[in-house]
């Protein structure tokens, strides 16, 4: 795999910091990461997406959360 760009490393660091909870696309977008960057990480096995239902204003809504994979953690560690 080619070396990670600064943006990909930043995104993976954010996903690593979010822990098992993961991060929603809205949160990732607020930090400047667009859906195509996250899709690239998923396609390379560095992140995964999981659909969940969460409570908001007493209602259940569907969200998709991104999480770092073990391969993503390894890729970041390899470049340190």
- Residue-level pLDDT at 1: 63
Which CATH number goes with the domain that contains 70? Answer: 1.10.10
Domain range for residue 18? 6-75
**Tally of residues, the chain:** 80
- Residue-level pLDDT at 12: 96
Whether 52 maps to a domain, the answer reads yes
Q: What is the pLDDT of residues 10-28, one digit of tens each?
A: 999 999 999 988 999 889 9
| Helix or strand holding residue 9 (H, E) | helix 6-17
* Domains: count for the chain: 1
Q: What is the pLDDT of residues 24-39, one digit of tens each?
A: 988 999 999 999 999 9
CA nearest neighbour of 51 among 22, 29, 18, 80:
22
The mean of the pLDDT values for the chain is: 93
| DSSP class per residue in 21-74 | G-EEHHHHHHTT--HHHHHHHHHTTSEEEEEEEEEETTEEEEEEEEEE-HHHHH
pTM for this prediction: 0.88
């Amino acid at each position: 795999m080619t070396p990670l760009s600064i943006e990909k490393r930043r995104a993976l660091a954010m996903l690593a910091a979010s822990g098992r909870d993961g991060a929603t696309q809205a949160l990732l977008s607020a930090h400047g990461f667009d859906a195509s960057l996250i899709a690239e990480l998923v396609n390379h096995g560095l992140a995964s997406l999981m659909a969940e239902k969460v409570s908001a204003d007493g209602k259940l809504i569907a969200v998709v959360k991104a999480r770092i994979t073990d391969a993503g953690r390894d890729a970041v560690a390899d470049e340190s």
